[in-house]
Amino acid sequence: MRTFKPLPSQPAPKETVGAVNWIRENFFSSVGNSLATLAILMLLAIILPPAIDWLFLSANWQGVTQADCTKDGACWSFVKAWSKQFFYGSYPSDELWRINLCLLALVAVIIASNVLHKDWRNKIAIPLFLALPFISIVILDGRPIGLSFVSTDYWGGFSLNVLLAAAAIIIAFPLSFLWALGRRSDMPMIRSVCVILIEFFRGVPVLALFFMGSVMLPLFFPEGTNVDKLLRVWIVLTLFMSGYMAEVFRGGFQAVPKGQYEAADSLGLSFWQKTLLIILPQVIKISMPNILATFVMLFKNTTFLLIIGIFEMLSTTQTALTNSNWLGGHATEGYLFVALVFWICCFSMSMISSSIERKLDTSHKK
Amino acid sequence: MTSEHQQGIEKNDNIIVIEALNKWYGDFHVLKDINLKVKKGERIVICGPSGSGKSTMIRCINRLEEFQRGSLVVDGVEMIEDVKNIEAIRREVGMVFQHFNLFPHLTILENLTLGPIWVQKKPKKEAEATAMKYLERVQIPDQAFKFPGQLSGGQQQRVAIARSLCMSPEIMLFDEPTSALDPEMIKEVLDVMIELAEEGMTMLCVTHEMGFAKKVADRVIFMDAGEIVEQDTPDEIFNNPQTDRLQLFLSQILDH
Ligand SMILES: Nc1ncnc2c1ncn2[C@@H]1O[C@H](COP(=O)(O)OP(=O)(O)OP(=O)(O)O)[C@@H](O)[C@H]1O
Ligand SMILES: [Mg+2]
């Protein structure tokens, strides 16, 4: 009998590998492609030198007042001088550790829920995650734990954008999951209530929701109580986020194969056991990239809060621009800085989201 | 089939009794007047052309499908619109699917212990010990900490069988357990099923593996167009078909 011997693998042909080849194939593969490449290179040659000059070479980095900005370029000392306000608003300087603690706790819980073993994650990280907004409020407010009281009027800056968005998405997680579940329910009453909620909060612009929140939310609280402005904003952002996330979850539900429900049923699991142990983990995994994308949108939308007088980062920047010590027209630097900070955050979240997507893609091939 | 086994099946010990069962999908009459009694320890193979209602019938037995007319009693519990009864029956009945349906986010061991821990409220340690015992029986104890996606189809199907066995069911349902597998893996799954049959498990198995049917089945049921057309011993069914429909079906599956 003849024994089967596989042929040895050969290296790929020379003309298809290497850097020069890569450049030729990607930038100069045709006349049109070459022209486009040249046009873009020329545009860059026109724009880049003055931009680099203004941004870095003749920029002012040192100094604490308007008068120190003597060179032609950007006045980065403006950003430096206001950086505390940009990040922390008017929160008392001695108490900034409280904000840092909350931000740190947020990062810690997110990391923990990704690296911890499943049992620990379910028993500790997730409950802690859900409690985090309330713990943060207690720490920032101070009164319940005997720290000095800091009214929400002083909360502000970029940390407020981050904490508000995080607090909204954390509560939106369980809420939107229930809405999505309700939308799939056999019971017409529950289904229509959920459809109305989801479509309302998705369909109305977030700004309109903020104004409605100021007017309408107090009606739901006992008369005479003064509902804190930030609390109202938190509720509105949570509901807004829930509307979008419920739709993301709905897509996730549809992506879980029918066989998963049947296998859970045939093992005799109850409805809630099936939903929480089998379906929910798979739905969250499938939906994660879209949830992150939705969160990026929510996060950017927190800058709208300047319109209703909350001192998040953008409105803090505007305040700084009208300060009498810095009336030199530093709007470009200020807004560039705000844009840069948001861009870094949103871009890294997009990167995370697409890396999760790639991982899902390979693990779900089967 | 051994004579010992035949005696083991007691005459009136019916574990499944289906009487005049009818089911419709909308206007489509998918199961027509099904009558079927299954004795404890009996091994039944169900075959028939695609769309004849084989899956639908066995899925009625653990209420993955509802039916509109007739009655179904499993181990003395009547299948009615009641969560308690449905859950009681599902605890008695294990099911193995064509596409395995393992839970992809759980390890093999967690797949096996989920039911015992949450449904039967067993302590985790005990559930894990039982799970390992069954993984050894299907010969893959070394895969316990992997995820389903890392296993071959044949291994996944053996895990799925072990998962059902961990619930110590009285009855096992199989819906084409080998038809999604490469030929090289079919045997390893069939071997596990043959072993299970030899231990006296009550089995209803939809399959076109005629070798398996001849080897273990006490009875072969042939279905077409939502009806049970013929049922008899494998010998009689394969060698002495009574209807032209079965004859045609046999000639088709034996042809290729
Ligand atoms: N959810 C459903 N809605 C409507 N019709 C259905 C549904 N499920 C199955 N059917 C129809 O019912 C009939 C019986 O289906 P069933 O799956 O029981 O057949 P089967 O004998 O198992 O076939 P196969 O060998 O292809 O698995 C088929 O004609 C099928 O098209
Ligand atoms: Mg079928």
Domain that holds residue A254: 156-360
Determine how β-strand B227-232 pairs with β-strand B219-224. Answer: antiparallel
Alpha-carbon distance A260 to nearest alpha carbon in chain B (angstroms): 6
Where residue B5 falls among pLDDT bands split at 50, 70, 90?
low
Residues in chain B within 8 Å Cβ distance of A259: 97, 99, 101
Query: Shortest CB distance from A262 goes to which of B97, B148, B167?
Result: B97
Rounded CA-CA distance A175/A169 in Å is: 10
- The CATH number covering residue A326 comes to 1.10.3720.10
Query: Shortest CB distance from B119 goes to which of A267, A282, A366?
Result: A267
The ligand 1 atom at the shortest distance from the C-alpha of residue B176 is 27
Query: Shortest CB distance from B105 goes to which of A266, A268, A285?
Result: A285
User: What average pLDDT score do residues A71-81 get?
Assistant: 85
Point out the ligand nearest to the CA of residue B57.
1
For residue B256, is pLDDT > 60? no
The residues whose Cβ lies within 5 A of ligand 2, an ion, are: B 55
Q: Are B143 and B155 in contact (CB under 8 A)?
A: yes
User: What average pLDDT score do residues B113-124 get?
Assistant: 94
State whether A363 and B105 contact (CB < 8 Å): no
Residues in chain A within 8 Å Cβ distance of B152: none
- CB-defined site of ligand 1, < 6 Å: B 25, 28, 30, 48, 50-56
Tens of pLDDT, residue by residue over A270-297, are 999 999 999 999 999 899 889 999 999 9
Q: Are B221 and B44 in contact (CB under 8 A)?
A: yes
Alpha-carbon distance B159 to nearest alpha carbon in chain A (angstroms): 13
Residues of A with CB under 8 A from a CB of B: 257, 259-260, 262-270, 273, 277-278, 281-282, 285, 363, 366
For chain B, positions 58-77, list CB contacts with chain A under 8 A: 62-64
Point out the ligand nearest to the CA of residue B48.
1
Within-domain flag for A146: no
Alpha-carbon distance A263 to nearest alpha carbon in chain B (angstroms): 6
Within-domain flag for A294: yes
Instruction: State the amino acid at position B165 in one-letter form.
Output: L
For residue A79, is pLDDT > 90? no
Provide the token pair at A85. 């306000």
Where residue A362 falls among pLDDT bands split at 50, 70, 90?
low
CA A74-A78-A79 angle, 5° bins: 95
Tens of pLDDT, residue by residue over B46-97, are 999 999 999 999 999 989 999 999 999 998 888 887 788 888 889 889 999 9
State whether B104 and A263 contact (CB < 8 Å): no
Of A88, A95, A86, A214, nearest in space to A143 by CA = A95
DSSP state of A15: G
Rounded CA-CA distance B23/B32 in Å is: 7
Strand partners, B233: none
Mean pLDDT of all residues belonging to chain A: 88
Within-domain flag for A123: no
Q: Are A162 and A228 in contact (CB under 8 A)?
A: no
Picking from A266, A282, A284, A362 by the largest number of B CB atoms within 10 A of its own CB, the best residue to mutate is: A266
Q: Are B34 and B18 in contact (CB under 8 A)?
A: yes
Quote the pLDDT of residue B104: 93
Q: Are B105 and A281 in contact (CB under 8 A)?
A: yes
Q: Are A78 and A61 in contact (CB under 8 A)?
A: no
Cβ of residue B167 closer than 8 Å to a chain A Cβ: yes
User: Could you give the 3-state DSSP secondary structure of residue B140?
Assistant: coil
Rounded CA-CA distance A297/A311 in Å is: 19
Residues in chain B within 8 Å Cβ distance of A267: 90, 114-115, 119, 163-164, 167
Per-residue CA distances from A129 to A24, A140, A155, A297, B191 (Å): 50, 17, 22, 21, 48
Pocket mutation for ligand 1, best pick of B31, B50, B175 (most atoms within 8 Å of C-beta): B50
Within-domain flag for A307: yes
Q: What interface predicted TM-score (ipTM) does this complex get?
A: 0.91
Tens of pLDDT, residue by residue over B125-170, are 999 999 999 999 888 889 889 999 999 999 999 999 999 999 999 9
Q: How many domains does chain A contain in total? A: 1
The number of CA neighbours under 13 Å toward the Cβ of B172 is 28
> Which helix (H) or strand (E) is A198 found in, with range?
helix A188-203
Picking from A119, A267, A269 by the largest number of B CB atoms within 10 A of its own CB, the best residue to mutate is: A267
Query: Shortest CB distance from A268 goes to which of B87, B97, B103?
Result: B87
User: What average pLDDT score do residues A28-45 get?
Assistant: 91
Least confident stretch, A1-15, A132-146, A198-212, B36-50: A1-15
Q: Are A353 and A292 in contact (CB under 8 A)?
A: yes
Of A95, A116, A107, A88, nearest in space to A166 by CA = A107
Helices A19-27 and A31-52: crossing angle in degrees, nearest 10, is 100
Tens of pLDDT, residue by residue over A254-274, are 999 999 999 999 999 999 999
Rounded CA-CA distance A330/A320 in Å is: 9
Q: Search chain B and give the residue with CA nearest A366.
A: B149
Within-domain flag for A95: no
Cβ of residue B134 closer than 8 Å to a chain A Cβ: no
Residues 6+ apart with CB under 8 A from B218: B1, B5, B6, B9, B42, B43, B44, B233
Query: Shortest CB distance from A265 goes to which of B90, B149, B164?
Result: B90
Pocket mutation for ligand 1, best pick of B21, B29, B30 (most atoms within 8 Å of C-beta): B30
User: Could you give the 3-state DSSP secondary structure of residue B31?
Assistant: strand
Spacing, Cα B175 to ligand 2 middle (Å): 6
Determine how β-strand B69-74 pairs with β-strand B43-47. Answer: unpaired
Instruction: State the amino acid at position A118 in one-letter form.
Output: K
Beta strands in chain A (DSSP E): none
User: What average pLDDT score do residues B183-197 get?
Assistant: 89
The label of the residue with tokens 């001088």 reads: A81
State whether A269 and B115 contact (CB < 8 Å): yes
Q: Are B211 and B133 in contact (CB under 8 A)?
A: no
- Taking the alpha carbons at both ends of chain B, their separation in whole angstroms is 27
Determine how β-strand B69-74 pairs with β-strand B77-78. Answer: antiparallel
Q: Are A253 and A219 in contact (CB under 8 A)?
A: no
Within-domain flag for A104: no
Pocket mutation for ligand 1, best pick of B55, B66, B178, B249 (most atoms within 8 Å of C-beta): B55
Q: Search chain A and give the residue with CA nearest B85.
A: A268
Within-domain flag for A277: yes
Cβ of residue B145 closer than 8 Å to a chain A Cβ: no
Residues in chain A within 8 Å Cβ distance of B116: none
Where residue B10 falls among pLDDT bands split at 50, 70, 90?
very low
Pocket mutation for ligand 1, best pick of B23, B34, B54, B57 (most atoms within 8 Å of C-beta): B54
Rounded CA-CA distance B220/B48 in Å is: 10
Of A258, A268, A279, nearest in space to B55 by CA = A258
Picking from B58, B64, B92, B112 by the largest number of A CB atoms within 10 A of its own CB, the best residue to mutate is: B64
Of A249, A82, A206, A108, nearest in space to A166 by CA = A108
For residue A244, is pLDDT > 90? yes
DSSP state of B40: T
Residues in chain B within 8 Å Cβ distance of A274: none
Provide the token pair at A278. 């089998």
Tens of pLDDT, residue by residue over A311-327, are 888 888 888 888 877 77
Rounded CA-CA distance B156/B151 in Å is: 6
Rounded CA-CA distance B41/B69 in Å is: 27
Mean pLDDT of all residues belonging to chain B: 89
